[in-house]
Amino acid sequence: MARKIKLTLPSDEKIKSALVATTGTLLRAQKSPDEALGELFADVQKSRVYDDGMTFMQLIPRKRSQQIKKEYAVEKKDPNFDLREFVNRHFYSFEHKPSEYYSNSDHTAREHIEELWSVLERKSRRDRGSLIALPNPYVVPGGRFSEQFYWDSYFIMLGLAADKRWGTIEGMMKNYAHMIRKFGFIPTANRTYFLSRSQPPFFSHMVRLLARHNGRRRTYLEYLPYMLAEYRFWVKGRRSVTTHIDTRAFARVVQMPNGVNLNRYFDNKTTPRPEMMWDDLETAKRAQLHDTDKLYLDLRAGAESGWDFSSRWFADPMEISSIHTTDIVPVDLNCLLYHLETTIAETYRLMFQPLLARKFQTLAERRASTMLKYMWSEEEQFFMDYDFRKAKSTASVTLAGVYPLFVKVATPKQAQAVADRIEKDFLKKGGLVTTLIDNGQQWDSPNGWAPLHWVVIQGLREYGHYALADKIKSAWIQTCSGVFDRERKMVEKYDVTSESGLGGGGEYELQDGFGWTNGVMAALLDEKD
Domain map (residue ranges) of the chain = 1-30+108-199, 33-92, 236-396, 397-529
Q: What is the mean pLDDT of residues 153-159?
A: 98
Q: What is the mean pLDDT of residues 497-503?
A: 96
Q: How far apart are CA 182 and CA 176, in angstroms?
A: 10
pLDDT tens, position by position, 263-275: 999 999 999 999 9
CB-facing half-sphere around the CA of 172: CA atoms within 13 A: 30
What percent of the chain is modeled with pLDDT above 90? 88
Helix (H, G, I), strand (E, B) or coil at 527: coil
Q: Please give the angle made by the CA atoms of 277, 278 and 284, to the nearest 5 degrees.
A: 90
Q: Which of 308, 327, 332, 444 is catalytic?
A: 308
Q: Which residue has the higher pLDDT, 145 or 290?
A: 145
Q: Please, is 64 exposed, middle or buried when counting C-beta atoms within 10 Å of its C-beta (0-12, 13-18, 19+)?
A: exposed
pLDDT tens, position by position, 311-341: 999 999 999 999 999 999 999 999 999 999 9
Region for 488 from its dihedrals, namely left if φ exceeds 0, alpha if ψ lies in -120 to 50, beta otherwise: left
Where does the pLDDT of residue 1 fall: very low under 50, low under 70, confident under 90, or very high at 90 and above?
A: very low
Question: Which residue type, as a one-letter code, is found at position 293?
Answer: D
pLDDT of residue 22: 72
Q: Indicate the average pLDDT of the chain.
A: 94
pLDDT at 60 over 60: yes
Contact 192, 130 (CB under 8 A): yes
Q: Which of 298, 304, 492, 495 is catalytic?
A: 492
Would residue 492 show up in a list of annotated catalytic residues for this protein? Answer: yes
Q: What is the DSSP letter of 28?
A: P
pLDDT of residue 102: 74
pLDDT of residue 20: 76
pLDDT at 152 over 70: yes
pLDDT at 5 over 60: no
Region for 464 from its dihedrals, namely left if φ exceeds 0, alpha if ψ lies in -120 to 50, beta otherwise: left
pLDDT at 25 over 90: no
pLDDT tens, position by position, 82-128: 999 999 999 999 876 545 677 788 899 999 999 999 999 999 999 99
Would residue 308 show up in a list of annotated catalytic residues for this protein? Answer: yes
pLDDT at 521 over 70: yes
Beta bridge partners of 398: 435
